[in-house]
């Protein structure tokens, strides 16, 4: 069994590391929840087209999902520019309705990993403003459990993106953030971030 001791030690050093007096932190770790992500929009369009093509005899209802759970790491190159890496996962499920009767469930799981850059307009004070962009890959895994049919699973890799038009962060070392944009992280992303 692998030892997690080196990983714990490195993690503690990263958290305990603080910049010298008067120097801004050089890294930021953010964890958030995104709503209105690209997978949700693709799922909605697919459902509408399927319902139209089948004249309403086949449709899905009761869509559920928490949203895109995301983590992002930024490394500041200077006061305004940073490179970033982001990853996240989202699960969407819905009921299949055939001729008005529930017949099963469909599920989609999306995982993404992206790299990009950020431009910070305000940083270091109580309020931070920024924009960022990232591209990468997404793995989609679809599963279907429908009465009278064998269970099925499909996986595919697609390009992923996120464009944050405006992000706002409150606090100096630790604080909440809110982002407005579009992509695999969501149209609205909110959470908390820590500078170190």
pLDDT digits (tens, 9 = 90+) for 28-68: 999 999 999 999 888 878 777 777 777 766 777 777 888 99
The residues facing 97 across adjacent strands are 59, 102
pLDDT for position 13: 52
| Whether the predicted pLDDT of 83 surpasses 60 | yes
Kindly list the domain boundaries of the chain, sorted by start residue: 25-195
Give residue 21's pLDDT. Answer: 46
pLDDT at 15: 52
pLDDT at position 12 is 57
pLDDT (mean) for 145-164: 93
pLDDT digits (tens, 9 = 90+) for 103-142: 889 899 999 999 999 999 999 889 999 999 999 999 999 9
Q: What does the pLDDT average to over 155-161?
A: 96
Handedness of CA 46, 50, 51, 57 (dihedral sign): negative
Average pLDDT, the chain: 87
pLDDT over threshold 50, residue 20: no
| pTM for the structure as a whole | 0.80
Query: Which top CATH class is 25-195?
Result: mainly beta
Over residues 81-100, mean pLDDT: 92
Q: What pLDDT sits at residue 18? A: 47
């Amino acid at each position: 069994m692998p030892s997690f001791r080196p990983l714990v030690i490195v993690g503690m050093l990263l958290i305990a590391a603080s910049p010298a007096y008067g120097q801004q932190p050089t890294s930021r770790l953010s964890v958030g929840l995104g709503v209105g992500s690209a997978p949700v929009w693709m799922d909605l369009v697919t459902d509408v087209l399927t319902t139209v093509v089948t004249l309403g005899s086949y449709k899905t209802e009761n869509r559920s999902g928490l949203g895109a759970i995301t983590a992002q790491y930024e490394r500041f190159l200077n006061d305004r520019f940073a490179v970033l890496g982001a990853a996240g996962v989202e699960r969407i499920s819905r009921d299949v309705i055939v001729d008005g009767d529930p017949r099963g469930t469909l599920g989609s799981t999306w995982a993404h990993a992206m790299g990009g850059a950020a431009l910070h307009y305000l940083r270091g004070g109580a309020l931070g403003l920024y924009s960022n962009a990232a591209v990468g890959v997404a793995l989609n895994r679809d599963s279907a459990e429908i009465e009278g049919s064998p269970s099925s699973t499909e996986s595919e890799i697609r390009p992923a993106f996120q464009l944050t038009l405006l992000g706002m962060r409150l606090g100096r070392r630790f604080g909440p953030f809110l982002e407005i944009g579009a992509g695999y992280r969501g149209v609205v992303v909110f959470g908390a971030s820590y500078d170190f």
